[in-house]
Amino acid sequence: MDLINFSHNAITTEEELRDIIQAPHELVVKKSISIIDEHCEKFIAKSPLFLLSTCNAEGKCDVSPRGDFPSSIKILNKHQLVIPDRPGNRRLDSIQNIMSNPHIGLIFLIPGLNEVLRINGRATVIKDKQLLGNMSLNGKPPLLGIGVDVEECFIHCPRALNESKVWDTSTWINKTELPSSKDIFHDHLKINGIELKN
């Protein structure tokens, strides 16, 4: 299939966009707050999974899933939180993005709950041993953390998770319908000219 030139039918101005999609209701705009209030704090404390969105200085974006035990994120005050950076594959995509562009977005999920909490702000990669020492997992403190200065918080409506039925086990596929992550990993390495022996 030939590549499509998306620019031929692109929307390029906000005026053109609003001709198609009307402005949001005032209540939708006003639900956004600039502090971590008690509701946001409780939501974060119950969330074992969140998505971390970052972008480097060149505009290349990345979204990273982060799983940890509930209450692993430390709320410092109404404007700041710290995320422990646990050991992983050492690609450090999110960390390097933050170092070149501090703007981040977070989506917190709680299993069984269709609403999500969205937080936007500015991030800093930190190595404060005293602060990170209080965020140990299995006796090991993280080497790095992500300090977030919160600029915006709001609860996102449940439509996306309702429609996807993500928590409804009756809709879950049989794992045999997809190749294993190992097979996908090996096939992607082959595309890059690397073949591993089984």
Judge whether 170 lies within some domain. no
- Could you tell me if residue 16 is inside a domain? no
Q: Give the integer Cα–Cα distance in Å for 178 and 175.
A: 6
Is 54 among the domain residues? yes
Containing domain of residue 91, as a range? 24-164
What is the model's pLDDT at position 198?
A: 66
**Which stretches of the chain drop beneath a pLDDT of 50?**
none
Residues 95, 100, 104: CA angle, nearest 5 degrees: 60
In a domain, 183, yes or no: no
Assess if residue 81 is contained within a domain. Answer: yes
Mode of pairing for the β-strands spanning 74-75 and 144-156 = unpaired
17 within domain boundaries: no
pTM of the model: 0.92
Phi, psi at 10, each rounded to 5°: -80, 145
Confirm whether 35 is domain-assigned. yes
In the chain, the number of structural domains is 1
Q: Is residue 91 part of a domain?
A: yes
In this structure, what CATH number is given to the domain that contains residue 117?
2.30.110.10
